Structure 1
Amino acid sequence: MRDLILFLAFVGIMPFIFKRPVVGAMAFAMVSLMNPHRLTYGSAQNFPFAMYLCLATLVAILISREQKKIPMTPAVLVMLLFFTWYTVGTIFAQVPNGAWTDWERYAKTMLMVFVTIMTVRTVSDVKVLALTVALSLGFWGAKSGVFVIVSGGGEGLHGPFDSFISDNNTLALAMVTITPLLVYMASRAKTKWAKRAAMGMAGLTMLAAIGSYSRGAMLATFAMGFFLWLKSANKLKTGLAFVLIVPIVFSLMPPQWTGRMHTIQTYDEDASATGRINSWHFAVNIANEFAIGGGPNVFTPHMFMLYAPEPERYYDAHSIYFQVLGELGYFGLAIFVAMFVTTWRTAGRIIRHCRDNEDQSWALMLARMCQVSMIGYLAAGAFLTMAYYDLIYYVIAIVICLDKVLVRAPQKDDTPPMQLKFVERYLERRAAKKSRKASLARPLNRA
């Protein structure tokens, strides 16, 4: 039954993609982030929905008469530069076969992110994009939050298999990153019940992040809370809320969870933590040896035997920063960090632009929540190998699209083309009429 529903939805959305390519970009984002086919048990489980949605969207773009433009903003340029450098690193990779496999997956993500930026043209498109991204992972957040409650702590929590978020740690990063967008969704809900449902989903998603037994997720939660406290209009109330909530959450979690969180202070006695430090030293050694890094998928047992301080202790990168450092070198890491700096500055410009405009309060809230999402990702990512996870690139795309439709060319997106031409002609005729009246009045005034 699930397979049939998914296939019917897939076939039913095709005409809308050819009518408006942005629909295809949204559908691809949902499939890529949510992985609905992993919830089926038949032929739909391994059907390449994402590939066919990508192809249909690209064909729709070619035949569509809509304006197709990617704004060459600093955030877009840095993202393009990062993908170019990633490609260079792949060409000269130390493990070519694995590198090109990783490149293919990352190239698909970047292609559709840029397609999304290109096809989003209106304010409504941006709102739907934010809603699509939020709900796609909010589904797994709500499902996982219920599991934490039912299981009494969340041990054994997993995401969709054969995906970026299949294990508890990677799922935790996704839950931390998406929670601010769910809070935005709740703030814009039109009805009381929709607001309650959205807040419930946000609460369950944050509970899933905490109950995942991920220490990185816990640190990221505190980092986001500190940022929200700094930006809060009423710091006293916000601070009191955190002071009350944190002890309650800690008291409700099982002893196993508390014991794992306490290992943050005794990392030097934890085998997992010391293994990660060995991987980080490996990344530094690779970056020192190769100017462009070792290339994607360089964290392999063979390379560890050559460059790791403890060759027998093979671990993955366990950090987005050391992952990029080992794979793309120091310059690649600098571009990676610059991508978030430029996106943060773009979000800041949107906030300043919308601050005094009540009609654009939704955009101000969305830009701020995207900043909080980036904080969560950058904090939790310090301990996870998720540098190329598509969720954070969609968060960046939301910020770029907000800048595109609100700051750079709002009048073109909010007014239909024919209506815009009619308004322009009307204003031109009115100005010409006033000019003629003024010229006729001048001789009378002189007399």
Structure 2
Amino acid sequence: MLYVMAGSLFLLIVRPYEVYEILGDMRIEFIYGLFTLLCFIVSKKKRIFNSPIVNWLLLFLVVMCISSVTALQPEHAFDATFKYFKICLVFFIMMWALYEYGDYRRIIEFFVLITILYVLWSLWEFMQGRYRWSMGLTRLMGRDVTYGHPNTFASTIATLFPFVVALLRAGLTKKIYKWILLGFIPVGIACVLLTGSRGGFVQLLFLCILFAFARKGKIRTLIILLVGLFIGWYMLPENLQNRFYSLVDPSVAPNAESAHSSAEGRIDGLLHGIDLFMDNPLLGVGPDNTIYTFGDAMGYEAHNLYGQVLGELGFLGTLTFFMAIALCSIQAVRNCKNAKRYLAAWGQSPYAEEYRKQFDFVYKVNVASGQCLLLLLFAGNFGHNLFKYNWLFIAYVVVCGRIILKSVTKEIAQSNG
């Protein structure tokens, strides 16, 4: 199932069927989805277990389905719900099929490497003349349609960095992966800057703070990161410098009026979502139906996670979504504490060499999950990332991390017994 799920991640992240019309006409996503489901059904290793996080995510899906019935545009809402269901299905199958340490480690590596491939492909296309012109800038964008907007693309890169760092610290299954990840760090930062996304730039700053306070030499690490950032700043062309400096002084932006209205749009998105919530408190206006609520200005997005979930899914959607996120956060912290405790307890035992790496890997990727969650919640202030696959990937990491820790400690106890 490992390589089957790697294929599913490739289709989910790279989305070649949105680029090549022939793949779309062949319905490659649908065919491969059926193949994945069949492989899961016949797999002898599958283990469908109960988890509070999975339960809340399933409830969130149920709320989306009910909200779609009462939506302003039910057909559009059901389409958005079905797309999210397909993403959920990929990660639920991952949870129930790839819960052993070896598969867990490899699929996380595959997730990172596939995302890097997606970024590099998009960068190559940008160098060949494919870009988005907006805000008075030539902006790097993702190669696909669904997640290709420069702001979304910048966020995709930023949320990958915690796992890149975690894998470098924990060690990788192949040496070549190390050089790929090391090379990606400066390339990834450059890609975020080339998107011209002020939200992406702020996420990089936020990451610097998260990385600094995750290490012992906090002040020294923060200074090094900021010095590196300032060096990168002075290597940028003037129009990009002005674009990012417009966070402080909107008048210097290449297109000052658009930049100012864009910033105000994030606040308006939150306030508009609250207004929609007050009018439709229980179920909202329906998944992805915010675009139908701006009157003559139809097509505008929420541009704010909190306004999006309140306005589109109401109280029930907000409750189920944030309960799942809260449980992911709690479980990530527990996994980190337990992994450290087990390392301290058995670090010098005869079984240390065999199990130390497993404890250490689970600890580091769960730290990365916590950092990624904070980053996604922070990015939600200026982006509508409610239906992004990253939330579900984090759920997979923390849920299966807990299973691995329990499994390893049980093995140690049996060996000692």
The TM-score normalised by the length of structure 1 is 0.78
Runs of at least 5 residues in structure 2 that lack an aligned partner in the other structure: 132-136, 252-256, 344-355
1:322 counterpart = 2:307: yes
Tell me which residue corresponds to 1:442: none
Tell me how far apart the structure 2 counterparts of residues 227 and 148 of structure 1 sit (CA, whole Å): 30
Tell me which residue corresponds to 2:110: 132
C-alpha contact (below 8 Å) 1:275/1:314 kept by paired residues: no
Tell me which residue corresponds to 2:59: 81
C-alpha contact (below 8 Å) 1:279/1:315 kept by paired residues: no
Tell me which residue corresponds to 2:346: none
Tell me which residue corresponds to 1:169: 151
User: For residues 327-365 of structure 1, what are the alpha-carbon distances to aligned partners after superposition, in whole Å with 9 as ceiling and x for unaligned?
Assistant: 011342233223222111111111111114233211111
1:216 counterpart = 2:214: no
Tell me how far apart the structure 1 counterparts of residues 164 and 140 of structure 2 sit (CA, whole Å): 21
User: For residues 219-249 of structure 1, what are the alpha-carbon distances to aligned partners after superposition, in whole Å with 9 as ceiling and x for unaligned?
Assistant: 2112222122112112233022123112111
C-alpha contact (below 8 Å) 2:291/2:298 kept by paired residues: no
Tell me which residue corresponds to 1:289: 279
Tell me how far apart the structure 1 counterparts of residues 175 and 42 of structure 2 sit (CA, whole Å): 42
After the TM superposition, which residues 402-413 of structure 1 pair with which residues of structure 2 at under 5 Å, given as runs?
Answer: 402-407=401-406, 409-410=407-408
Local SS of the residue matching 1:304: coil
Tell me which residue corresponds to 2:167: 185
Runs of at least 5 residues in structure 1 that lack an aligned partner in the other structure: 1-20, 306-310, 428-447
Amino acid at match of 1:297: D
C-alpha contact (below 8 Å) 1:75/1:343 kept by paired residues: yes
Q: Cα offset for 1:122?
A: 0.9
Tell me which residue corresponds to 2:291: 300
C-alpha contact (below 8 Å) 2:304/2:380 kept by paired residues: yes
> What is the aligned-residue identity percentage?
19
Bigger radius of gyration: 1
Q: Cα offset for 1:321?
A: 1.7
Tell me how far apart the structure 1 counterparts of residues 185 and 191 of structure 2 sit (CA, whole Å): 10
Q: Cα offset for 1:116?
A: 1.3
C-alpha contact (below 8 Å) 2:273/2:306 kept by paired residues: no
Count of residues in correspondence between the two structures: 388
Amino acid at match of 1:379: F
C-alpha contact (below 8 Å) 1:120/1:126 kept by paired residues: yes
Tell me how far apart the structure 1 counterparts of residues 197 and 368 of structure 2 sit (CA, whole Å): 22
Tell me which residue corresponds to 1:275: 265
C-alpha contact (below 8 Å) 1:319/1:384 kept by paired residues: yes
C-alpha contact (below 8 Å) 1:117/1:397 kept by paired residues: yes
Local SS of the residue matching 1:296: coil
Provide the alpha-carbon RMSD of the alignment. Answer: 3.0
Q: 1:22 to 1:284 in 2, by over 3 A?
A: same
Q: 1:300 to 1:176 in 2, by over 3 A?
A: same
Q: 1:99 to 1:215 in 2, by over 3 A?
A: same
C-alpha contact (below 8 Å) 1:267/1:273 kept by paired residues: no
Q: 1:116 to 1:80 in 2, by over 3 A?
A: same
Q: Cα offset for 1:264?
A: 2.2
C-alpha contact (below 8 Å) 2:126/2:141 kept by paired residues: no
